[in-house]
Amino acid sequence: MDELKFRRQAYENPYNQDADFLQQIKAKPENQALVNELKHLDAKLCSALKISVPEDLADKLILRQQLQQHHKQRRRTGFLMAMAASIAFAVGISFSLLRLGPIDLAEHALAHVNHESVALHLDQNVDFKQVNARLASLKNFGNAKFIQQPGKVYFSSYCDFQGVKSLHLVLQGEQGKVTLFIVPLEKRMVLDQTFADSQYQGIGFETADAFILIVGEDKSDLNYVKDEISNIFI
Amino acid sequence: MFTNWRKKSAEPAVSSDMLSKQRRYNSLVKALHADIFRYAYWLSGDKHVAEDITQETFLRAWKALDSLKDDKAAKAWLITILRRENARRFERKQFDYSDVEQDTLEDNISNSSEDQTDQYLIRRQISRLDIEYREPLLLQLIGGFSGDEIAELMELNRNTVMTRLFRARNQLKVLLEKSEVRGQSNG
């Protein structure tokens, strides 16, 4: 190793541990002196570089990170809340829009009978005055009521026709039980004269105050009940 | 309602994950904040700027902590972030901080007044060193990095780094000897 290369290496890093370099230090006293001098310089530089660090810096760094983390978490919860709110909003809007569409009463009546088959097995033996009381509480409904008992009434309850509160009755027909729906008049409703599915048949008609739907298994029962209703439901 | 349900099911795993990440971050801060701060100071020449850069560096480190696989590489990793932050500072606004503070370098370490003047002179000379010579020297002396590591950090080849280290020490040595001589002749 020549002199120049040695000097360069000493200046590059006086703590160089290469065998060549260490040997060169041993070889000449002036090399040793140069390296010592440079090590001394390094020591001075190192202590000069060690400027004082603000005492609370470490705490500040941790605090800042934790605040940031906290904000992020809050932002995320806020975001989720906003998402939940907008989903709820969208669902609400679409439901109310759906309700504005035309309602097929016939289809709904059949679905209702099929779904609530338990109504056909109950025997509450309802008095027509009770039925009238229920009729009176329907909204947008005139003064129509039963003027006498329409045969035996097995079951009576409110039900919902796409948001319209209606009355659901089960009456005794000539042959079997017949389901009767009384739905307050509303413009967007569509009513077929006759309808049917695989099990039930139904007829529908309109009185001055309400849509009447009659659903049963036997066609003759339907007409029997229709006649009866026409006479006593005024 | 929805968020509560979500939290309940996800919380245990998440919080233990967060806890170990937090611990890792805390020890990173404790072990390396002094070196990082000093490096930032000698890069910028201003204590407040150095503190800002250190804050930004550690905040970025926290966000990217999962990408640090090997804790031994943490220092080099932080220095890389710091250098990027420092460069960003110059993109934002072109202030030459090193001019501002050079003459008012603070000193809270040395005890005797003789040490103090000595150290003051050295600090002045270090901060007057060209940044391209100063930075490899800082990486060597504060960071304790080898020539190869410095080359990688600064994206230079090793020979360039070694040359700069040589020139840095050479300049400092000459400058300090000169000022000593001047000091002696003045006194």
The DSSP H or E segment spanning A169 is strand A164-172
Residues B130 and B169 in one domain: yes
Q: Is residue B180 part of a domain?
A: yes
Q: In the numeric block, which tokens belong to residue B138?
A: 């800082």
Q: Is residue B76 part of a domain?
A: yes
Which residue from A143, A164, A147, A149 is spatially nearest to A213, judged by alpha carbons? A164
Q: Is residue A84 part of a domain?
A: no
Q: Which of residues 150-209 of A touch B (CB under 8 A)?
A: none
Residues B125 and B82 in one domain: no
Contact B122 A44 (CB under 8 A): yes
Residues with Cβ within 8 Å of A104's Cβ and at least 6 positions away in sequence, in order, are A190, A192
Residues A154 and A218 in one domain: yes
Residues B52 and B84 in one domain: yes
Residues A116 and A224 in one domain: yes
Distance from CA of B37 to the nearest CA of A (A): 7
Give the pLDDT score at A111: 86
B98, pLDDT greater than 70: no
Q: Is residue B37 part of a domain?
A: yes
Residues A127 and A203 in one domain: yes
Residues B130 and B72 in one domain: no
The DSSP H or E segment spanning A80 is helix A57-100
B18, pLDDT greater than 60: yes
Give the pLDDT score at A109: 85
How many whole angstroms separate alpha carbon B138 and alpha carbon A3?
27
Chain A residue whose CA is closest to B173: A41
B137, pLDDT greater than 70: yes
Contact A51 B30 (CB under 8 A): no
Residues A107 and A221 in one domain: yes
CA triplet B122, B125, B131: central angle to 5 degrees?
Answer: 130
Arithmetic mean of pLDDT, B138-145: 92
Confirm or reject contact between A38 and chain B (CB < 8 A): yes
CATH number for the domain including A148?
A: 3.40.1000
| Interface with B, mutate which of A37, A38, A53, A80 (most B CBs under 10 A) | A53
Residues B136 and B168 in one domain: yes
Confirm or reject contact between B108 and chain A (CB < 8 A): yes
- What ipTM did this prediction achieve? 0.75
The DSSP H or E segment spanning A58 is helix A57-100
Residue whose structure tokens are 């391209």:
B132
Q: Is residue B182 part of a domain?
A: yes
Of the ranges A115-119, A181-185, B92-96, B174-178, which one carries the lowest mean pLDDT score? B92-96
Residues B19 and B87 in one domain: yes
Residues A109 and A225 in one domain: yes
Q: Is residue B2 part of a domain?
A: no
Residues A212 and A107 in one domain: yes
Contact A41 B169 (CB under 8 A): yes
Q: Is residue A174 part of a domain?
A: yes
CATH number for the domain including B79?
A: 1.10.1740.10
Give the dihedral sign, CA B141/B144/B147/B150. negative
Residues B72 and B140 in one domain: no
Give the pLDDT score at B112: 57
Contact B62 A45 (CB under 8 A): no
Residue whose structure tokens are 């009866």:
A228
User: Count of domains in chain A?
Assistant: 2
Q: Which of B2, B41, B140 sits opposite A51 (nearest CB)?
A: B41
User: Confidence band (pLDDT; 50, 70, 90) for A78?
Assistant: confident
A215, pLDDT greater than 60: yes
Residues A35 and A114 in one domain: no
Q: Is residue B5 part of a domain?
A: no
Chain A residue whose CA is closest to B30: A58
Indicate the Cα dihedral angle A8, A9, A11, A13, nearest 10°: 160
| Interface with B, mutate which of A36, A57, A64 (most B CBs under 10 A) | A57
Q: Is residue A71 part of a domain?
A: no
Q: Is residue A209 part of a domain?
A: yes
Arithmetic mean of pLDDT, A40-60: 90
Give the pLDDT score at B90: 78
Per-residue pLDDT tens for B57-80? 999 999 888 888 887 889 999 999
Residues A114 and A201 in one domain: yes
Residues B21 and B100 in one domain: yes
The more confident residue out of B176 and B92 is: B176
Give the pLDDT score at B101: 47
Q: Is residue A146 part of a domain?
A: yes
Residues B84 and B130 in one domain: no
Residues A139 and A43 in one domain: no
User: Count of domains in chain B?
Assistant: 2
Contact A52 B141 (CB under 8 A): no
Residues B96 and B137 in one domain: no
Domain that includes residue B85, residue range: 13-104
Q: Is residue B50 part of a domain?
A: yes
B100, pLDDT greater than 50: no
Q: Which of B42, B118, B166 sits opposite A11 (nearest CB)?
A: B166
Contact A77 B119 (CB under 8 A): no
The more confident residue out of B91 and A109 is: A109
Task: Give A45's contacts in chain B (Cβ within 8 Å).
Answer: 122, 126, 137, 141, 172
Per-residue pLDDT tens for A90-112? 998 888 777 666 777 888 888 88
Residues B165 and B185 in one domain: yes
Average pLDDT over chain A, rounded to whole? Answer: 85
Q: Is residue A77 part of a domain?
A: no
B185, pLDDT greater than 90: no
Q: Which of B33, B47, B109 sits opposite A61 (nearest CB)?
A: B33
Per-residue pLDDT tens for B110-122? 455 666 777 888 8
Angle between helices A57-100 and B2-44 (to 10 degrees): 140
- Residue that finishes a domain, picked among B79, B104, B129: B104
Percent of the residues in chain A that have a pLDDT greater than 90, as a whole number: 15
Give the pLDDT score at A134: 85
Arithmetic mean of pLDDT, A27-56: 90
Per-residue pLDDT tens for A108-159? 888 888 888 888 888 888 888 888 888 888 877 777 788 888 888 888 888 8
Average pLDDT over chain B, rounded to whole? Answer: 81
Residues A33 and A109 in one domain: no
- Residue that finishes a domain, picked among B104, B137, B157: B104
B96, pLDDT greater than 60: no
Of the ranges A197-206, A215-224, B99-108, B128-137, which one carries the lowest mean pLDDT score? B99-108
Q: Is residue B98 part of a domain?
A: yes
Tally the residues of chain A. 234
Strands in A164-172's sheet, in edge-to-edge order, are A153-161, A164-172, A177-184, A210-216, A201-206, A194-196
A207, pLDDT greater than 90: no
Of the ranges A4-13, A186-195, B53-62, B96-105, which one carries the lowest mean pLDDT score? B96-105
Residue A217 near residue A176, CB atoms below 8 Å: yes
Residues B56 and B118 in one domain: no
Task: Give B26's contacts in chain A (Cβ within 8 Å).
Answer: 62
CATH number for the domain including B149?
A: 1.10.10.10
Contact B1 A65 (CB under 8 A): no
Arithmetic mean of pLDDT, A47-63: 89
Q: Is residue A61 part of a domain?
A: no
Give the dihedral sign, CA A197/A200/A204/A210. negative
Exposure string for B72-86, b = 16+ CB within 10 A, e = fewer: eebbbbbbbbbbebb
- Residue that finishes a domain, picked among B48, B69, B104: B104
Q: For residue A96, how far is the Cα from the chain centroid?
A: 16
Domain that includes residue A202, residue range: 103-232
Which residue from A163, A203, A178, A164 is spatially nearest to A119, judged by alpha carbons? A178
Residues A130 and A39 in one domain: no
B173, pLDDT greater than 70: yes
By three-state DSSP, how is residue A205 classified?
strand
